[in-house]
């Protein structure tokens, strides 16, 4: 990915959000139970996108299609199906659009990714929702949980991290917590 392509995407995303009065972002935040702070979602989406693009590039994967999928107003087609919205301890939020297979995300790498502006890393939780605003079905939730578990435990062990899936707090939205496990004699 050229820096120009990323900058063009980020500028277009920000411009489209402002042009819309951030209505779509407000609606999204409300639906997934996060505070009505769309400015944080704009900045955080650009920030998390930079991390996602870096990991795709490290893995030798093309990012052009991934970048195109991340429009302010994503299209509802076979290539864009879910939104993963990361909550960085309430400091910022980042929305990433994924296809059904969710292979464009590396949740394990994002879990440890440093966010220098915030002097922290990773995320507190992330929320998975359908782009068409329909509720996730029980079968979908099971498939998503399997993919997330596989992704995280590809890099970590059950002694390293704990994954907790919350299916109940927000109807039709899956909230996922991934937290480090520290030995009793080691402080976080």
Per-residue pLDDT of the chain (188 residues; tens, 9 = 90+): 466 889 999 999 999 999 999 999 999 999 999 999 999 999 999 999 999 999 999 999 888 889 999 999 988 775 668 999 999 999 999 999 998 888 889 999 999 999 999 999 999 999 999 999 999 999 999 999 999 999 999 999 999 999 999 999 999 999 999 999 987 766 65
b/e for 158-168, b at 16 or more Cβ within 10 A? eeebebebeee
The pTM (predicted TM-score) of the whole model is 0.93
Q: What pLDDT, on a 0 to 100 scale, did the predictor assign at position 76?
A: 76
Q: What pLDDT, on a 0 to 100 scale, did the predictor assign at position 8?
A: 95
Hey, what's the torsion of the CAs at 66, 69, 70, 75, to 10 degrees?
-170
SS3 at position 30:
helix
Q: What pLDDT, on a 0 to 100 scale, did the predictor assign at position 2?
A: 60
Q: Are 52 and 46 in contact (CB under 8 A)?
A: no
Closest CA to 83 of 57, 48, 118, 50: 48
Q: What pLDDT, on a 0 to 100 scale, did the predictor assign at position 75?
A: 81
Q: What pLDDT, on a 0 to 100 scale, did the predictor assign at position 78?
A: 59
């Amino acid at each position: 990915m050229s820096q120009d392509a990323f900058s063009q995407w980020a500028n277009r995303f920000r411009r489209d959000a402002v042009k819309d009065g951030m209505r779509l972002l407000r609606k999204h935040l409300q639906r997934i139970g996060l505070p009505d702070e769309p400015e944080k979602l704009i900045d955080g989406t650009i920030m998390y996108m930079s991390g996602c693009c870096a990991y795709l590039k490290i893995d030798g994967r093309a990012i052009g299609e991934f970048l195109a999928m991340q429009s302010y107003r994503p299209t509802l087609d076979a290539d864009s199906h879910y939104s993963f919205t990361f909550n960085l301890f309430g400091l910022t939020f980042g929305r990433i659009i994924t296809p059904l297979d969710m292979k464009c995300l590396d949740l394990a790498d994002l879990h440890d990714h440093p966010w220098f502006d915030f002097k922290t890393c990773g995320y507190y939780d992330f929320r998975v929702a359908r782009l068409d605003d329909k509720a996730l079905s029980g079968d979908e939730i099971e498939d998503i949980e399997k993919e997330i578990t596989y992704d995280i435990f590809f890099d970590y062990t059950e002694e390293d991290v704990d994954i907790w899936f919350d299916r109940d707090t927000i109807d039709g939205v899956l909230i996922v917590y991934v937290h480090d496990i520290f030995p009793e004699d080691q402080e976080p």
